[in-house]
Structure 1
């Protein structure tokens, strides 16, 4: 069972995101962070220095629903790109926050 999204803010060890599903066309991935067992949806972003991923915490029910419904997952990824889900960010971005692809 996945922990609540709040658990993602309490990392003690290395952060290890493992994707279980990737939609390259829509530009998102679903998976579970191994240390906290927190489910996530990630999107690619770029800043002036590098390309990286932003990871948004999901409940277990949300994770299951997004895995089962690609349309719902794509809509959620777009909401993340519009920064409407920033309270769910597992790792908070720095001052040079990237722009979604």
Structure 2
């Protein structure tokens, strides 16, 4: 997989982009497992991506829900048995 960030919010610590091999749009944010940090990637469709580009509060609402693990069904890569915590 090749994730290409097209939008990055350093203040809110999330990004949006497209996975280049599949064309899947995503929202991602950093997660910490203590000894290692990594990104969790959540699938969104193109229309949602375009809406989030114009509506930051809607994107932040999505990110907040994902950080609470309310949107796990949208994870592009399923986490292992030891899952990190959103940073």
TM norm. shorter chain > 0.5: yes
Larger strand fraction of residues: 2
1:9-57 deviation line (CA, Å, top 9, x unaligned)? xxxxxx1000000001111100000110000000110003310000000
Contact 1:29 1:41 in 2 (8 A): yes
CA RMSD of aligned residues (A): 0.7
Gaps of 5+ in 2: none
> TM-score scaled to structure 1, two decimals?
0.84
Structure 1 counterpart of 2:33: 47
1:40-87 deviation line (CA, Å, top 9, x unaligned)? 000110003310000000011111111111111111110100101100
Gaps of 5+ in 1: 1-14
Determine whether 1:68 maps to 2:50.
no
Q: Which aligned segments of 4 or more residues in structure 1 are displaced greater than 3 angstroms?
A: none
